A and B are shown apart, each in its own frame.
Chain A
Amino acid sequence: MSIDFWINVAVLAGIYGIFALGLQLNAGFTGLLNFGQAGFMAIGAYTVGLLVVNFGWSLWLALIAGIVLAVVAAVAVGISSLRLRADHFAIATIAFGEIVRYVLQNAQFSGGNQGVLGFDQEWRVFTDWLLGKLAIIGLDRYTQLPLFIVVWIVFAVMLIAISALQRTPWGRVLRGIREDEDATAALGKDIFAYKLQSLALSAALAAIAGFFVALNVSYLYPSVFDPTFTFFGYAIIVLGGYASYAGVAIGSLIFWALLEGTRLMDTALSAGQQASLRFVIVGLFLILLSRWRPQGILGNHEEMRVRS
């Protein structure tokens, strides 16, 4: 077993941790079942890729544009769908995510099935610079280390920032919406505006995660933004603890350690059977998790009520 393998797991855990922070804000703290997170991620990532490749933008400027566009998409989705019932909102957002994916696969501007390639020059320059510094302490042979460092710094900053935000009056109103929407409205709060802000912030986090996915894979392709990843995001927040931001980090690490670690099983089975077994294990884990520890590792049972 190698350190490289586990650096990769940590990178994925960091990326999908940022992704799941948004879901935690929506589902865990606002009671909003957003299942279109993979769609917002795709919008962020593709905006970056296309602006750099087709319009010669700087990678970092394109990142900002990606975040802005994901937020705009979230506002559009929110304005049209936030008035729906919670479960209908969930299905509408899944449909939104799938439409985004089909558009990226079939449209001309997005490179279609051939995807987008060659947007990461600036990132590679940065990586080489950082690896040069890491060489001083002899760590330059772990080539994924720069991505790991950047992802986890961003993740940590986001985690701290969003936790702080949660303690502001704004955060408390969100909680109030989750607990009792009508009572919060009776206090004169504009429920719709708060929900919209929650969704927009979540989409921004998804776009940042999408940016890192793009850097990790070095190739943008629609299937990377499959709705499965949104489901994974929910698994992460339940695992780490519902309505706990710190739980997202732990949940993401455990989830990806399980998902990727099961690749390393060495059995006498055929490759096909082993691959199947891997997902049977993951599936069983999800079932047992929701049965035995529904509130997750850092979660509180009292926080679990989501109105429908």
Chain B
Amino acid sequence: MSAPNLLFAGLVLVFSVLAVAFGIVPATQATLNGFAAGAYLGLGALGLTVVLGVLKLVNFAQGDLLVAGVYFTILFGWLGLPLPLAMLVAMLATGVLALITEKLVWKPLRRAGASHIQLFLSAIGLALVLRFSIQFVAGSQVRTLGANIVSSVTLGPLRFGTLQAAALATGLLAMVLVGLGLRFTNIGKEMRAFADNRALAEVSGIDTARIIDYTWFASGFLAALAGILYATSIGSFNPNFGVTLLLSLFAATMLGGIGNAYGALIGGLVIGLSQEWSTLLFNARWKPAVGFVLLILILLLMPQGIFGKALRRS
């Protein structure tokens, strides 16, 4: 049985057990909540997995790109753009910001043949610079994007937040678009070729600099999309929200298999589901730890992730 089928069967099994033990309604409600929580994580992991897959870079600053997207939205809204337009411009701006980090930080490091540790330290440094530059300007007080966060859709005894549903739908759409883009567009194909074997891609005449630029822009754009959806539907945030999500985003990426768009979202959903399901079993205080336990289990039992392929050692 392939890993995705195995996973799906496992999820169905867990759900059935929970439904028998706690009743169908609580189990289904927890599942819906899991989809909502997982949508943010999966969407956030999308941008992370692209950079990790194509550039083999563990970008610890990704969480803060989510934050940048949200605060760009506030900035453009303040400058007078209507909110949906401000969000779109913010996503583009965050894409450009990610591109700037490539030009200023990552490209020079790559050229110098930087080691893992150097890249890692730069990412930590960059994360601090981004987060605290935002806080310097905007302050650490909580802000809101002003959406109606209490509206919900009722399905019999079940409830699902309207914005959470929108986040999930957007996540699925973004996943499909990124997945299709990687598969069928020229730039997507080139990205995958580059990810598989950089030297070979270069020899076969692919403009690698362009690939890298596109990758960063896409990563920033997707990060902003995830950040904006999260901030809109959670309702209240400050510049710290990115760093608190970061490790969960990594977990989602690893779980799904590095560099796989479908994997990132599915990984996020699996984490969301296990966290919310766990609230049926234990006190909710253990919820944040569940994701990490799951991550370790997946690494030990399924080191390639759900959708990952065996990576060659570089």
Chain A positions within 8 Å of B, measured between CB atoms, are 27, 33, 80-81, 84-88, 91-92, 94-96, 98-99, 102-103, 106, 227, 231, 234-235, 237-238, 242, 272-273, 276-280, 282-287, 289-291, 294, 304-308
Contacts and interface: CB of A to CB of B under 8 A. Distances in A.
Contacts of B129: 280, 283-284, 287
Contacts of A85: 303, 313
Given A80-B296, A291-B122, A294-B112, 11 more contacts: A84-B300, A84-B303, A95-B292, A95-B295, A99-B292, A235-B124, A280-B129, A287-B122, A287-B129, A290-B121, A294-B118
Contacts of B132: 276-280, 283
A103 B117 CA distance: 29
Contacts of A237: 117
Interface of B is mostly: helix
A304 to B, nearest CB: 5
A94 B296 CA distance: 10
Given A87-B58, A102-B289, A276 B303 contact: no
Interface in B277-303: 283, 285-286, 288-289, 292-293, 295-296, 299-300, 303
A278 B129 CA distance: 10
B140 A88 contact: no
Contacts of B122: 286-287, 290-291
B32 interface: no
B116 A287 contact: no
Nearest to B60: A231
Interface stretch (B42-50, B82-90, B197-205, B246-254): B246-254
B125 interface: yes
A121 B292 CA distance: 36
A234 B121 CA distance: 7
Contacts of A84: 299-300, 303
B192 interface: no
B115 A294 contact: yes
B292 A277 contact: no
B126 A287 contact: yes
A95 B289 CA distance: 9
Interface in B256-314: 283, 285-286, 288-289, 292-293, 295-296, 299-300, 303, 313-314
Interface residues of B, number: 46
B299 A81 contact: yes
B135 A308 contact: no
A98 B247 contact: yes
A306 B288 contact: no
Nearest to B239: A276
Q: Which 9 A-B pairs have the closest CB atoms?
A: A286-B125, A283-B128, A102-B289, A283-B129, A276-B136, A287-B125, A290-B118, A95-B292, A279-B132
Nearest to A112: B285
A287 B136 contact: no
10 contacts: A88-B254, A92-B296, A95-B299, A106-B286, A279-B128, A279-B131, A280-B132, A290-B109, A291-B108, A294-B115
Interface in B169-204: none
Interface of B: 58, 105, 108-109, 112, 114-122, 124-133, 135-136, 139-140, 247, 250-251, 254, 283, 285-286, 288-289, 292-293, 295-296, 299-300, 303, 313-314
Given A92-B299, A279-B131, A284-B125, A308 B314 contact: yes
Contacts of A94: 247, 250
Nearest to B129: A283
Contacts of B140: 272, 276
Nearest to A88: B299
A143 B206 CA distance: 65
A285 B112 CA distance: 18
Contacts of B286: 102, 106
